[in-house]
């Protein structure tokens, strides 16, 4: 990632994580919502993953592994579980657009 994008993500980290967690937890059927402990560990791992990604850190593997392990034992189809990762780009793009106060983020930030 570029330094500009990393800085923008870190400046909006709280909102990106809120939206990402909300999206991740919404994948669970109402009848099978995750326990508060699972939700907490998932949220912490998502935050650690986002931080590692913006730092360009190889420490990305620990949080990524933790998220995958949690999702692997949940009653979700694999495609639903893995959607957690694909939705991150959309969430980052939308959050940065909203933070900038205009219709679309700087194209250099999302390419």
Full DSSP string of 50-83: HHHHHHT-GGGHHHHHHHHHHHHTSSS-HHHHHH
Domain of residue 105: give its range: 3-110
Structural domains of the chain, count = 1
Radius of gyration of the chain (CA): 14
- pLDDT one-digit tens code per residue, 16-58: 999 999 998 888 877 777 788 888 999 999 999 999 988 887 8
Q: Residue 16: how many CB atoms within 10 A of its CB?
A: 23
User: Rounded to whole angstroms, how far apart are CA atoms 82 and 86?
Assistant: 7
Q: What is the pTM of this model?
A: 0.80
What is the distance of C-alpha 33 from the center of its chain?
A: 18
């Amino acid at each position: 990632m570029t330094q500009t994008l990393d800085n923008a993500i870190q400046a909006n980290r709280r909102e990106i994580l809120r939206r990402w967690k909300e999206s991740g937890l919404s994948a669970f059927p109402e009848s099978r919502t995750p326990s508060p402990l699972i939700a907490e560990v998932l949220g912490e791992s998502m935050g650690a993953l986002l931080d590692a990604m913006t730092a360009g850190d190889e420490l990305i593997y620990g949080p990524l592994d933790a998220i995958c392990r949690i999702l692997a034992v949940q009653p979700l189809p694999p495609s639903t579980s893995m959607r957690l990762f694909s939705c991150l780009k959309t969430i980052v793009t939308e959050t940065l657009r909203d933070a900038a106060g205009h219709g679309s983020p700087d194209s250099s930030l999302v390419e």
